[in-house]
Structure 1
Amino acid sequence: MKKDRLYLPILIFTTLALGIVLGTILNIPVDREILSSNTHKSKLNKLIDFIDNEYVDDVNTDSIVDLTVNNILDKLDPHSVYIAKNEMEDVSQSMKGDFVGIGVNFYMYNDTVSVIRPMPGGPCDKAGIIAGDRILYANKERLFGRKFSTEDLYARLKGEVDSEVRLTILRKSENKRFDVIVKRDVVPIKSVDVALMINKTDGYIKINRFAETTYDEFHKGLLELKKLGAKTLIVDVRDNGGGYLEKAVEIADEFLPKGRMIVFTKSKKGKIEKTYASTRGDFENGNLYVLINENAASASEIFAGAIQDNDRGTIVGRRSFGKGLVQREMSFDDGSAVRLTVARYYTPTGRSIQKSYEHGKEAYYKDFGHRFESGELYKKDSIKIADTLKFRTPKGKIVYGGGGIVPDVFVPLETVHGDERLGYMLQSGVTGYFVFEQLEHNRKIFKGMDYAAFLAFMKKKDTYFGAFSKYLSENGMSINLDQEKELVKRYILAEFAQQLFGENKYFEIILSRDAMINAILNKPATS
């Protein structure tokens, strides 16, 4: 097996860090009046022009400008960031909530685009492409055996609505190669992973970020769960690094009566803007729980803070990340952008939950390690919060500012034997790659099998656990799985279910033994 897969366990950390860095965004354009010229900017412009025109060697002045911008922002807070033009399209697309493409989930497997599963009802699904197919060519351009960047590969598969792309497919299961015309269409990028009932009365919604379409996705799921009889709602924002402040506000509004404060922001000039719940929401009554963890940040904390401070529901999990800064985006003509911190936000009781960044960015982002070393991820008593940051809700409950939202009900990391890497690794791409390879070896085993038969088969099949342990070892990951066998088997089963039957089945399996869900089901609700 190839050692170039060793980066996989850190993919989840990279993704989470990016989301948290981008944080909470005010979706308001920058006023160009504030960008008037001054001597400092004139000095920078003259220097760049001088280098461009007179420097003895050829030099890429664009890279110098990028370096200059990054150096300037590095002197500010950790969330004021520069986004290069080659990164900006992906960031914008993620926040927009859709793109035009062929509608397929894939891996680069042995240097070939390999289909995990076409999106139901999407262009590839309509064209008859199935899981396990290889995409060899796009419009006669070879895609296999080449080191394409992700951006280059997407560029070959994306296009205008209704434009066509001829794909050459290798169907390994039938040893068949054929061409198919796929008509591109708008493909949603879900920010709400799933909305499902975990029993007859308890509904569950998972939000992975707050994008342009998040409220619409959430509201649709909420109404569906109410029709199915949901009396209790669990909103999961674990590992959600943030997004648009307005979307967090809109979702909080569904749970709070008119006139209740949701959040307020304070700018450099002391301007305070308060946001209140507006019209009647669709779940103002009924039990409400919000799941958070150490990677829930920014807009997720705005939402959780509004629910906690208004005594509306119960916050369950571990202390959140601690990002209480709001950014505004300024775009440049070359397609790059800066997101600059322009305000602090406060929860309804007046809490700022921004953790300190006075020791620099490196220390700021190593906070997770400090939390682990202090035992905070396993014991609530280890959370260090200053008494001076104590606040009270209208009903007298004590809440704390500074360094994140402290949950009402604490739930430790799921790995009971203390290897904090395992839980994150199981949720990263490693498990998905392993399962894909297992299916590649013998996909026919599952052909025609319904979900009930699949579960019965997997219950009897214990070889995948041993194969996964061997897979990790061969890829240089030394993690003892024996003490967490049931947890590992659950994630392997869930990944098989996802690749064979879709995302809802993945969550049904994971949530069936989720520690935070169990803490809720075994504890009386408060609202």
Structure 2
Amino acid sequence: MKNHKTYLWPLILATALAVGVVIGGKLRFSNTPEDFFTTDSNKAKLNRLIDYIEYEYVDQVNTDSIVDLTVNNILERLDPHSVYIPKEQAQQVAENMQGDFVGIGISFYMYKDSLSVIRPLEGGPSMPAGILPGDRILMADGDTLYGKGMESEAVVKKLKGLPNTSINLKVHRKGSPNLLDFTINRSKVPIKSVDGYYMLTQDLGYIKINRFAESTYKEFMNALNALKNKGMSQLVLDLRDNPGGYLNIAEQIADEFLADKKLILYTKNKKGSIEKTFATKKGAFENNHVYVLINEKSASASEIIAGALQDNDQGTIVGRRSFGKGLVQREMPLPDGSAVRLTISRYYTPTGRSIQRSYENGTKNYYEDYLKRFESGELQSIDSIKVADSLKFKTPKGKIVYGGGGIIPDVFIPLTASIEDETVTYILRSGLASFFIFEHLDSDRNQYQDYDEDHFITTYEVPESLIQNFNQYLAQRRLKIDLNIYHSEIAKYLKANIAEQLFGENAYERIVNKDDNALSKVIMLSTSH
């Protein structure tokens, strides 16, 4: 299930949350987690303090919350990317990174106190079973899924389960006088990390990756092969806003672009041990040109791919300076089901540069760097990016590259918008527009029944009445967008949200990418290759 909720976070917080991780291999210690906390006097002191508070303190105290706070405080003193994952979040985090979950496979809202299907997910069991957009799932195995105060999390727990177990649903569908009965066998449902792939021109393909999960390499190769079958000889790999993920997945994708025995990256731990990763003979696109799109929210695994290609003089990096994260984490379980992601090494690009930004002034300062990039002008001009000569490196063909804070692109694309424009774009891309469109479709889905994806994208025009209704919808939530300035943006994102709910994420990407500055530049560059 993809649980859609409507959140409106400040832009800067959203930017901070975009910073992801590079996760190394799985933990392989022979000791149990408990064995690590049995001998050291400092650890014993901490355990004894918790015991004193639990048994002797004058008031009742939730010691679990104290422990969580203590763990968080310890990790914050290490680096910004060593983090604690509470037990209640661990399963969701694991599913997101493994790229699938076991359930019935629907995207839904809790709408007017009932579970309302946005659409069944491709690859899940609900689609072949006959669940349709707009259905209200009222009961599951006799348990009600509606009512005031029904939380999405409670609904998710009832619909998830073990693979190949059945669940009996009662569904209300508009136009049907009686409830409909469905029996669905739960199965693995993919959580897509490839948002979309399609042809931009006759020979230029496009693939967008939103994170690097266990399933991402397989998704990427399926997309790559599908586009090659359509005649693709050049590729745009869109890693903008991609916060990272598994290190080995980034290595596998980079391998597809690099010749045998080319260095992809190397890592170094505190003991000075170095591990190098080289490309293999399997490269499926190493003789073709690739354009990698990055921006200030592209982090970790995204930077590994951009750095590996740039340092090997392969392809063209397009966009703005990436986030600047050169640390590798490993996820380590704790006895209660929670976990920590602990930084275990630094990674370096093939020329030997570390692109990790300084965090010596603390985590808050580290994450506020996005605002500083706005203020310094570096998002508008490549000449405003501060570089140190001591961090200058050369690629095999003599191109100058720099370490110390992200990947600087070969072709710079300025951010022409102000912070206010970015905020408006964030509002339009958030759940607000999606929820509004759900209500719009729910009122009358038949008006779109004659469209297929291509016909909708090429011919549909958002009516002025829908734009005005959305503006009123925002005003009711104390938000206002200037229609004189942002009229075309509103129309584009409303159309994209309709397309997503009717046809899926690929249709959404095709629409929001229209008139994209970076893609327009790449299309122009591609004609010279």
TM-score bracket relative to the smaller structure: over 0.9
Aligned partner letter, 1:29: L
Residue in structure 2 matched with residue 324 of structure 1 by the alignment: 326
Q: Structure 2: which amino acid aligns with 1:433?
A: F
Which amino acid letter does the alignment assign opposite residue 277 of structure 1?
Answer: A
Instruction: Give the aligned partner of residue 50 of structure 1.
Output: 52
Q: Distance in 1 between matches of 2:431 and 2:409?
A: 29
Q: For the residues of structure 2 that align with 1:259 and 1:456, how far apart are their CA atoms?
A: 45
Paired position in structure 2 for 1:235:
237
Tell me if structure 2 keeps the 8 A contact 1:391–1:399: yes
Report deviation, 1:345.
1.0
2:464 to 457, 462, 465: 462
The whole-number CA distance in structure 2 between the counterparts of 1:440 and 1:130 is 12
- Aligned-residue Cα RMSD (Å) equals 2.5
1:8 aligns to what? 7
Structure 1 residues 293 and 452: alpha-carbon distance in aligned structure 2, compared to 1, 3 A threshold: closer
Deviation at 1:148, TM superposition (A): 4.3
The CA deviation at 1:199 is: 2.2
Give distance in 1, aligned partners of 2:80 and 2:329. Answer: 11
8 A Cα contact 2:161 2:186, kept in partner: yes
Question: 1:63 is matched with which residue: 62, 65, 68?
Answer: 65
Q: Deviations over 1:250-275 (max 9, x none)?
A: 10000001111111111112212111
Inter-CA distance 456–343: structure 2 relative to 1 (3 Å threshold): closer
CA distance in 2, matches of 1:363, 1:178: 55
Question: In the TM superposition, what whole-angstrom CA distance separates every residue of 1:334-366 from its partner, at most 9, and x where no partner exists?
Answer: 110111111111111111111111121111111
2:193 partner amino acid: S
C-alpha spacing 1:64/1:8, structure 2 compared with 1 (3 Å): closer
Residue 260 of structure 2: aligned partner: 258
| Partner SS state of residue 297, structure 1 | coil
Q: Does 1:98 align with 2:97?
A: no
Q: Which residue of 1 aligns with 2:385?
A: 383
Change (3 A) 1:94 1:246: same
AA aligned to 1:77 is: D
User: Which residue in the other structure is 1:280 paired with?
Assistant: 282
Does 2:27 correspond to 1:29? yes
1:491 corresponds, among 477, 482, 493, to 493
The amino acid that maps onto 1:355 is R
Whether the 8 Å contact between 2:413 and 2:518 is mirrored in structure 1 is yes
Gaps of 5+ in 1: none
Contact 2:255–2:279 (8 Å) recurs in 1: yes
- Could you say if the C-alpha distance between residues 526 and 309 of structure 1 is closer, same or farther in structure 2, counting changes exceeding 3 Å? farther
Contact persistence 1:11–1:428 (CA under 8 A): no
Equivalent position SS for 1:498? helix
- Cα–Cα, structure 1 residues 102 and 511, in superposed 2: closer, same or farther, change >3 Å? same
Aligned equivalents of 1:8, 1:60: Cα separation in 2: 29
Give the C-alpha shift of residue 433 in structure 1.
1.3
Equivalence for 1:88? 90
**For the Cα contact (< 8 Å) 2:6–2:432, is it kept in 1?**
no
Q: Call closer, same or farther: CA 1:416–1:82 in 2, change over 3 Å.
A: closer
- Residue 429 of structure 2 is aligned to residue 427 of structure 1: yes
Amino acid at match of 1:66: D
Percent identity, aligned pairs only? 51
> How far, CA to CA, are the matches of 1:451 and 1:306 in structure 2?
36
TM-score (norm 2): 0.92
Deviations 1:467-509 (A, max 9, x none): 2222222222233242232233222112111111222222222
Q: 1:211 to 1:16 in 2, by over 3 A?
A: farther
The 1:376/1:472 distance shift into structure 2, 3 A limit, reads: farther
**AA of the residue aligned to 2:61:** V
Post-superposition offset of 1:325: 0.8
CA shift digits 1:357-413 (9 cap, x unpaired): 112111111111222222322222222223332222111212121221111112233
What is the aligned partner in structure 1 of residue 309 from structure 2?
Answer: 307
Question: Residue type of the partner of 1:64?
Answer: I
SS at structure 2 position matched to 1:522: helix
Is this contact kept in 2: 1:215–1:250, CA < 8 A?
Answer: yes
Structure 1 position 144, deviation (Å): 2.0
CA distance in 2, matches of 1:127, 1:25: 37
SS of residue in 1 equivalent to 2:470: helix
Q: Which deviates more from structure 2 when the two are superposed, residues 111-120 or residues 325-334?
A: 111-120
- The equivalent of 2:395 in structure 1 is 393
Separation in structure 1 between the aligned mates of residue 48 and residue 207 of structure 2, nearest angstrom: 53
Contact 1:30 1:328 in 2 (8 A): no
Cα distance change of structure 1 residues 486 and 30 upon mapping to structure 2, 3 Å threshold: same
For the residues of structure 1 that align with 2:145 and 2:166, how far apart are their CA atoms? 17
Contact 1:355–1:402, Cα closer than 8 Å, also in 2? yes
Residue 357 (1) aligns with residue 359 (2)? yes
1:163-174 mapped onto 2 (5 Å cutoff): 163-172=165-174, 174=176
The 8 Å contact of residues 24 and 299 in structure 1, kept in 2 or not, is answered as yes
Q: Which residue of 2 aligns with 1:189?
A: 191
Partners of 1:291 and 1:237 in 2: CA distance: 6
Answer whether contact 1:248 1:299 (CA < 8 A) is retained: yes
Q: How does 1:145-224 map to 2 (within 5 A)?
A: 145-172=147-174, 174=176, 177-224=179-226
Please, which moves more after superposition, 52-61 or 307-316?
52-61
